[in-house]
Structure formats: C-alpha cells, structure tokens
Amino acid sequence: MRRSIRLKFIPTLFSILALGLLVVTGCSSNSPTWLTPASTNAAMVTNLFNLIFGVSVVVFVIVEVLLVYSVLRFRRKSNDEMPTQIHGNSRLEIAWTLAPAIVLVIVFAFTLQTLNAIEETPANALKVKVTGYQWWWAAEYPELGVTTASELHVPVNQAVSFTLESKDVIHSFWVPELGGKRDVVPGKVNTTWFRPTKVGTFYGQCAEFCGVAHANMRFAIIVETQEDFNKWVGDQKKDPAAPVSDLAKQGEQEFLKGICIACHTVNGTVAKGVAGPNLTHLSSRKTFAGGTIVLNKDNLKAWLKDPQALKPGNLMEAGKTIPRLTNAQINALAEYLSGLK
C-alpha cells in the first residue's frame, strides 16, 4: 500500500521538476532582471531587497527548526498519558510579539531611508522627455535638440531624469536593471530618474497592459561613456546625408510623395509627421517597430510589405492605412531608409 503511493508520486515529481526547468530556462540573457542593478537607485532597491530577504531567511530557518523539533520531540507516542496542559505564558507571548515588531521597525527604517534617497532628482540631471504611444516609445532631449525612438542613449555616471507622458492609454516605463517602474498616464506628467553605473545596453519593457501589442512595446537604454554619448548627440543633430544611389533617391521620392510623411519625420525634408517614430536617424538604431525587430534591409522590406504580419495591431496596415506597395517601391524605400544614419 505504502509502496504504491510512493510510485504514484513519481510522475508528479517529474512534472514539477520539468516545469521548474522550463521556468528557469525562460529567463534568457535578454530578459533583464533587477537582481543585477546597473544604476545607483536600482542598487539601493536591490540592497534593500537583499536585507529583507536575508532577515526573512533567518526568521524562516528559526521558525522551521523549532517547528520540526517540536513535531518530532513532542509527537504522540503509543501509550502516552495526557501531557501537561498549559494556558498561556506572558513572557513568551510578549517576546514573540516584540521580536517581529522590532524586525519590522528595522525594515521600515531602511525602506524609508531608501525611498528618501531615490526620491530627489539631482539638479544637474540630463533631461529626457519620454512619450508612450501604442506601441512604441518616443524620446526627446529638449536641452540637446535630439529626438529618437525606442533606443535611448545616456552617459554613464550621469543622473538622467525622465518626464513620462502618454499619447493614448496607460503604459509603464520599466528598465529592471536601471530602475523604474513608473506608470505613464495620459493627461499627467510623471517623473523618474536614475544614475547608470555600468556601460552597456539595458532592455526595458512596457509594464502595463496597453492593448494587443503590449508585449511588443519594448525599448533599450544604451549607457555609454560621455565621449561616445557626445558623438551620438552630434550625429543625431545633423540632418541625414542625401541619398547617393539611384535606388535610394527613388526611395526618397516614394517616401516624400507618399503617405509616410503624414506620420513620420525626417529632418531636413518635408516629412514632419509626429504620429509615428521619428525616422531621421533610423539606421543608427539596432531595432525598429518598438524595439522588437532587428533593423536590416530584409526586415525593412518585410515590414513595408506587411507590417501587420510582423507586429499585429500597429497603425500601418497595407491596403488600409497605407497603400499596398509594389516590390519595386519596397526595394527603393528600404534602400532609402537604411541609408538614414
């Protein structure tokens, strides 16, 4: 009887192990975690977590050891007589009320200290205005005269402050390794800030369900040296170079005479639309379509042919909001767009 119960348990055990394995492997290197902080604020929050987690582990171990000990030591043996009956113990009760209260006061004090430390935006912070759209992020650097989308560059060891606005529904700005998360609410300006401490690319994700392409509303914050950042700013401020090849020139004409300019801006041209991402330096980015598609000529062609197939729900729909493009038009447009550096 006992044996058959044990055997029945084995498939369940294997299922749990297999599920656990799936969950663990789901965390690829592209899934950022706040457990590896890369800004001063994120580090403070992670330290606070580690403190609370450490205290919890100590409490858990003490309680479990006492529990298991009591269960084993005082379990009923055969022919036991009635154990001594106890009704209350004031000293013990005061002790086990006070001890957790003291622990909570300590945790509360550290929490207040952390909240206070990350509350105040430093006065010399680099200002970035972030706007959430269904389903991509626009970023403007008002002091630098730069506008980009989905990939934000910031210098390392420099405080960066963000004002967060939404053009449509509630989004949430979150870069786990750098800080956040802060809701982006229509009709309201929220703020957040952080000081990145490591050079690298840190991925962000809209963290508030905002419609069909919510999962495809990603972005990246590229933290670089002050020198690299200055170079990036310099490049972004220039108008893109005029197309050289005939194909790219033809693409530019398609772009400027087409519907593209209703929604997109390319500095130095008549394209001044603001409903979609600014394309002035599109090809200086690694991704497009809200940080979800690797930017190369083939992917641009696939996008222009059928945007809905690559990112369902976006505003570009061939045959509806944009015309169906011929292969010749697509080739020319992709040539032009990949020249926008």
Which chain residues interact with ligand CUA by CB under 6 A? 132, 135, 171, 206, 208-210, 214, 217
Cβ distance to ligand CUA smaller for residue 174 or 336: 174
Q: 47 by DSSP, 3-state: which? A: helix
Closest CA to 260 of 218, 269, 308: 269
Of the two residues 210 and 337, which places its CB atom closer to ligand CUA in the complex? Answer: 210
> Smallest distance, Å, CB 132 to ligand CUA?
6
Shortest approach of ligand CUA to residue 26 CB, angstroms? 20
Please identify, using beta-carbon distances, which residue of 216 and 280 lies nearer to ligand CUA.
216
| CB-nearer residue toward ligand CUA: 132 or 243 | 132
Return the closest-CA partner of residue 207 out of 196, 195, 218. 218
How far is the C-alpha of 171 from the C-alpha of 290, rounded, in Å?
13
CB of 166 to ligand CUA, least distance (A): 8
Structure tokens at 318: 């061939």
Give Cβ neighbours of residue 204 (< 8 Å, ≥ 6 apart).
32, 173, 174, 175, 176, 178, 180, 218, 219, 220, 221
Q: Between vectors from CA 46 to CA 44 and to CA 49, what angle results, nearest 5°?
A: 110
Q: What is the CA radius of gyration of the chain?
A: 28
Distance of closest approach, residue 165 Cβ to ligand CUA, in angstroms: 13
Please identify, using beta-carbon distances, which residue of 217 and 266 lies nearer to ligand CUA. 217
CB of 148 to ligand CUA, least distance (A): 18
